[in-house]
Amino acid sequence: MRPRGCAVEPEGLLEAVEQAADGIVITDTGGNIQYVNPAFTALTGYSPEEVLGQNPRLLKSGRNSAALYEELWSTILSGKVWRGEVINRRKDGSYYDEEIRIAPVRDSAGAATCYIAIKHDVTEQRAAQNAQAFLAAIVDDSEDSILACTPAGAVIAFNRAATRMFGYSAPR
């Protein structure tokens, strides 16, 4: 069922996919790439001509565990949607973090005919999270007491040194 007011008719579906902000990859059931949209090309640096017929493993960075890929294939082969995050490598050799959802596409009999992957670049978000965690670790491990207070003077955050010095304890 199409959402009310949606102007995308079946014949316009390709144009919609071509304009999607996230990378879209369609593979056959053997994992060979049959289609990529322009967002995939922008994300990875690979043109459609370079990847059609190839396996998405050409993006592998070597930074993900074999268990992750085993889980991915086990999930989609069982007919379920796999959701996860991987570190992949662009054509230029740089790494990027992406959230991926991979779903089987079924025919009218319910058999998987191909897989569709939606790939969302989360590199900047992960870098910001890592920087925040790093700074939090520095503050928490500091030998100096560090407190954060509201303008009214209420203590809202503190590190371990402040706990030792002033007797604050973590809220329960």
pTM: 0.75
pLDDT tens-digit series, residues 127-163: 888 888 888 888 888 888 888 889 998 888 888 888 8
The SS3 call for residue 108 is coil
Higher per-residue pLDDT: 87 or 170 = 87
Q: How much of the chain, in percent, has pLDDT values that exceed 70?
A: 91
pLDDT value of position 9:
65
Give residue 6's pLDDT: 46
Give the three-state DSSP class for 150.
Answer: coil
Query: How far apart, in Å, are the Cα atoms of 139 and each of 54, 83, 133, 162?
Result: 47, 34, 10, 11
**What does the pLDDT look like over 30-48, one tens digit per residue?**
999 999 999 999 999 999 9
CB 115 within 8 A of CB 27: yes
Which domains does the chain show, CATH number per domain?
A: 10-122 (3.30.450.20), 127-166 (no CATH)
